Amino acid sequence: MATIIVLFAWIIVALLVRTLVKIITNSCPRTRHPPGPPSLPIIGHLHLLSSNLPKSLQILASRYGPIMQILMGGKPVVVVSDAKTAKEILKTHDVDFASKYVLGFGLSKFNIYDGNSFVNCQYGTYWRFMKKLCRTQLFAGPQLDLFIHIREQETLKLLKSLVERSREGEPCDLGMEISNLSNNIICKMTLGKRCAEDPNLPMKIRKSIGAMMEYTAKLSFTQVFGPLKKYDLSGNGKKLISVTWEFDGLMEQLFKEYEDSRINDSGQEENDLISILLETYRDTSAELKITRNQIKTFFLEIFLAGVDTTAATIQWAIAELINNPKILKKLREEIDSEVGSSRLVKESDIQNLPYLEAIVKETLRKHPPGPLLRRECNTDTKINKYEIETGTKILVNAYAIMQDPNIYNEPDKFIPERFLVDHQEMDFYGQDLHFLPFGSGRRACIGISHALIVTNVTIASLIQCFDWKLKDGDKYDIKLTTGYSGAMALPLVCYPITRFDPLKE
């Protein structure tokens, strides 16, 4: 009992001292930090954060304002939750905030590729080099055009398997089917030739990356509590290292096969992404010498950043359409009137389907797969009236910004029409800071064009070719998984009912 009283008294004293220090510090004009809720010793503000991190930060912001400071994993983090302040960070002072804040919770010692990341790297020579390579080669328009046959083949494969299910009267896990589609397309774009030779390669890579993600997630959970992070009590750190080495072996084998075939089939040009990267690796006159580990990490990050985000957007769109039959009907009418009923919708039709575009925008607004934009301050900067010091970690809550009731009437509802009437001018590129599903500024997404092509065509084909009936109930239950990705908690299991068979075209 005495111990409990002492512990309780200690917590109260610590809280008082902390609050006092805060009041004194905030009253000093030279070190004015953004306001924030009172924190607890050791855990900081963890007790105020739920498993839905963007939502709990939005709730805190409604109390502490559009720029606030909280303690996460023992570190102060500045959270920005309105478009005006986001513009300061992502546009006005873009260069000063172009480095990335890594939500690592001390995981780097279990990452054999630590220090080789593109997605998480500081703003500097390596990032600029790779960004240029992405813009001019890897994800440039002409390069993406070369992959049209991959996208068409994979979409047709998905539709074919759904027609089969429809014929058998069997339900399908649509979410899983869409994830496989997204994975196969990216795998074939990156490793075209190897995938043709080994059809199981996309699944092997997905399994390998899936295991790495699983152990990283488990490890992040146990690492949140400061003192325990020194010890790998769960053994997940060891497992993460082991599965990453397996992935590394797979990569080395692929590199060797590329090298061998380059020598044997000399003169034959390859246009997959790994060939471009290996060419850059060999190029002695390149502005920067990239390393093998940087290529492996880039490859891994393209999968992590591109597969599930694209798949989640398509899944959410279909779930919202099932839940809103009037919107589904309107989209179908648009597709039928533009494309007709004798051929399958194709990529070149997309520009003539404005209602489809509005549906994709509304899906990304309501269910952004990247709801928190991470930044780190490179130079002391003043934002609003607060001093943001070099090294300060920043989270821009894109989810909260895209839920702002002053901009979006009834933000919880799925209303694509808002992008045809009030917000026609908002594009996908984060020019208007009220709509930023792909981020904004220098560190915005590099895969926007690819993601939009795949998302639009897949949604349009699934609606053109099938009626959808959920396996359980009439409405899909919109629940989110734990974490901050905004992914669906429940599988999207439904019966496809064929209305147009693309194979009989």
Known binding residues for heme = 445
Which residues does 122 contact at the CB level (< 8 Å), separation at least 6? 99, 100, 376, 378
Q: Which is nearer to ligand HEM, 139 or 386 (CB)?
A: 139
| Residue in 302, 328, 353, 359 binding ligand HEM, rule: CB under 6 A | 302
Does the protein bind ligand HEM through residue 188 (CB under 6 A)?
Answer: no
54 in contact with ligand HEM (CB under 6 A): no
Helix axes 448-465, 148-168, angle to 10 degrees: 30
Is beta strand 75-80 parallel, antiparallel or unpaired with respect to 393-397? Answer: parallel
Q: Which amino acid is at 239?
A: K
Angle CA 106–107–108, to nearest 5: 95
Helices 448-465 and 174-197: crossing angle in degrees, nearest 10, is 120
Among 369, 416, 486, 502, binds ligand HEM (CB under 6 A): 369
Annotated binding-site members: 445
Who's near 124: CB < 8 A, 6+ residues apart? Answer: none
**351 in the Ramachandran plot: left (φ > 0), alpha (ψ -120 to 50) or beta?**
alpha
Spell out, one character per residue from 453 to 472, where the chain touches ligand HEM: x when CB under 6 A holds, - when not. Answer: --x-----------------
Q: Least CB distance from residue 119 to ligand HEM, whole Å?
A: 4
306 binds ligand HEM (CB under 6 A): yes
Among 102, 288, 444, 480, interactor with ligand HEM by CB under 6 A = 444
Using CB under 6 A, pick the residue from 49, 79, 119, 462 that binds ligand HEM.
119
Nearer to ligand HEM, 437 or 496 (CB): 437
Q: Does 290 bind ligand HEM (CB under 6 A)?
A: no
| 438 near ligand HEM, rule: CB under 6 A | yes
DSSP string, 8-73: HHHHHHHHHHHHHHHHHHHHSGGG-PPP----BTTTBTGGG--SBHHHHHHHHHHHH-SEEEEEET
Q: Considering the complex, what minimum distance in angstroms separates the CB of residue 284 from ligand HEM?
A: 26
446 makes contact with ligand HEM (CB under 6 A): yes
Reading the block at residue 423, the tokens are: 């917000």
The yes or no reply on residue 373 touching ligand HEM (CB under 6 A) is: yes
The only residue of 414, 418, 443, 487 in contact with ligand HEM, by rule CB under 6 A: 443
Nearest-10 crossing angle of helices 236-264, 292-323: 110
151 touches ligand HEM (CB under 6 A): no
Q: Choose, by CB under 6 A, the member of 451, 457, 470, 492 that binds ligand HEM.
A: 451
How many chain residues touch ligand HEM (CB under 6 A)? 26
Strand ranges for 172-216 from DSSP E: 172-173
Q: Can you give the binding site for ligand HEM, defined by CB under 6 A?
A: 119, 131, 186, 301-302, 305-306, 309-310, 313, 364, 369-370, 373, 437-440, 443-447, 450-451, 455
